[in-house]
Structure 1
Amino acid sequence: MFVKTVIVTLCLAVLPAAAYAGCSSRGHQAQSCAPGTVWDAASQSCVKQVNS
Protein backbone atom coordinates (compact mmCIF):
# COMPACT_ATOMS: atom_id res chain seq x y z
CA MET A 1 0.00 0.00 0.00
CA PHE A 2 2.84 2.41 0.84
CA VAL A 3 4.52 1.85 -2.54
CA LYS A 4 1.31 2.61 -4.42
CA THR A 5 0.87 5.82 -2.43
CA VAL A 6 4.42 6.93 -3.24
CA ILE A 7 3.98 6.17 -6.95
CA VAL A 8 0.68 8.05 -7.15
CA THR A 9 2.17 11.00 -5.27
CA LEU A 10 5.15 11.16 -7.64
CA CYS A 11 2.87 10.99 -10.68
CA LEU A 12 0.70 13.81 -9.34
CA ALA A 13 3.80 15.88 -8.65
CA VAL A 14 5.22 15.39 -12.17
CA LEU A 15 2.03 15.82 -14.23
CA PRO A 16 1.72 19.63 -13.88
CA ALA A 17 5.33 20.10 -14.98
CA ALA A 18 4.78 17.84 -17.98
CA ALA A 19 1.60 19.72 -18.93
CA TYR A 20 3.39 23.06 -18.69
CA ALA A 21 6.26 21.81 -20.84
CA GLY A 22 3.82 20.64 -23.48
CA CYS A 23 2.07 24.00 -23.63
CA SER A 24 5.09 26.27 -23.51
CA SER A 25 5.36 26.52 -27.31
CA ARG A 26 2.00 28.29 -27.65
CA GLY A 27 3.68 31.67 -27.27
CA HIS A 28 5.09 31.37 -30.78
CA GLN A 29 1.96 31.60 -32.86
CA ALA A 30 1.94 33.16 -36.30
CA GLN A 31 0.72 36.74 -36.41
CA SER A 32 -1.44 37.71 -39.37
CA CYS A 33 -1.54 41.33 -40.47
CA ALA A 34 -3.81 43.14 -42.89
CA PRO A 35 -2.74 43.34 -46.54
CA GLY A 36 -0.05 45.99 -47.01
CA THR A 37 1.24 45.60 -43.47
CA VAL A 38 3.88 43.38 -41.90
CA TRP A 39 4.61 42.25 -38.35
CA ASP A 40 7.23 44.34 -36.54
CA ALA A 41 8.77 42.33 -33.71
CA ALA A 42 10.26 45.42 -32.05
CA SER A 43 6.92 47.16 -31.59
CA GLN A 44 4.91 43.91 -31.41
CA SER A 45 2.36 45.26 -33.89
CA CYS A 46 1.53 45.44 -37.59
CA VAL A 47 3.13 48.34 -39.45
CA LYS A 48 2.83 49.60 -43.03
CA GLN A 49 5.09 47.75 -45.43
CA VAL A 50 7.71 50.02 -46.98
CA ASN A 51 9.02 48.99 -50.38
CA SER A 52 12.53 50.20 -51.08
Structure 2
Amino acid sequence: MTIKMLLTAAALVAAPIAAGAACLGHSEAGMTCAAGTVFDAESGTCKVVSG
Protein backbone atom coordinates (compact mmCIF):
# COMPACT_ATOMS: atom_id res chain seq x y z
CA MET A 1 0.00 0.00 0.00
CA THR A 2 2.90 2.37 0.64
CA ILE A 3 4.10 2.14 -2.97
CA LYS A 4 0.61 3.02 -4.25
CA MET A 5 0.50 6.06 -1.98
CA LEU A 6 3.96 7.21 -3.11
CA LEU A 7 3.06 6.82 -6.79
CA THR A 8 -0.21 8.68 -6.29
CA ALA A 9 1.54 11.49 -4.44
CA ALA A 10 4.20 11.71 -7.15
CA ALA A 11 1.52 11.93 -9.85
CA LEU A 12 -0.35 14.65 -7.96
CA VAL A 13 2.84 16.67 -7.62
CA ALA A 14 4.04 16.10 -11.19
CA ALA A 15 0.78 16.98 -12.98
CA PRO A 16 0.73 20.73 -12.18
CA ILE A 17 4.47 21.00 -12.81
CA ALA A 18 4.09 19.40 -16.24
CA ALA A 19 1.14 21.65 -17.08
CA GLY A 20 3.09 24.75 -16.06
CA ALA A 21 6.11 23.68 -18.08
CA ALA A 22 3.97 23.42 -21.20
CA CYS A 23 3.25 27.16 -20.98
CA LEU A 24 6.81 28.39 -20.52
CA GLY A 25 7.28 29.21 -24.22
CA HIS A 26 4.45 31.72 -24.31
CA SER A 27 5.55 35.32 -23.92
CA GLU A 28 2.16 36.96 -24.15
CA ALA A 29 -1.51 36.07 -23.99
CA GLY A 30 -3.77 36.48 -26.99
CA MET A 31 -6.70 38.87 -26.88
CA THR A 32 -9.73 38.75 -29.14
CA CYS A 33 -11.90 41.83 -29.45
CA ALA A 34 -15.41 42.07 -30.87
CA ALA A 35 -16.01 43.24 -34.43
CA GLY A 36 -15.45 46.97 -34.77
CA THR A 37 -12.99 47.14 -31.86
CA VAL A 38 -9.23 46.79 -31.50
CA PHE A 39 -7.05 45.89 -28.53
CA ASP A 40 -5.38 48.85 -26.80
CA ALA A 41 -2.17 47.63 -25.16
CA GLU A 42 -1.88 50.68 -22.87
CA SER A 43 -5.26 50.21 -21.21
CA GLY A 44 -5.48 46.45 -21.72
CA THR A 45 -9.01 46.73 -23.11
CA CYS A 46 -10.79 46.73 -26.46
CA LYS A 47 -11.51 50.17 -27.90
CA VAL A 48 -14.11 51.10 -30.53
CA VAL A 49 -12.58 51.90 -33.91
CA SER A 50 -13.61 55.36 -35.09
CA GLY A 51 -13.52 56.33 -38.76
TM-score range, shorter chain: 0.3 to 0.5
Q: Give the structure with higher Rg (CA).
A: 1
TM-score w.r.t. structure 1 length? 0.45
TM-score w.r.t. structure 2 length? 0.45
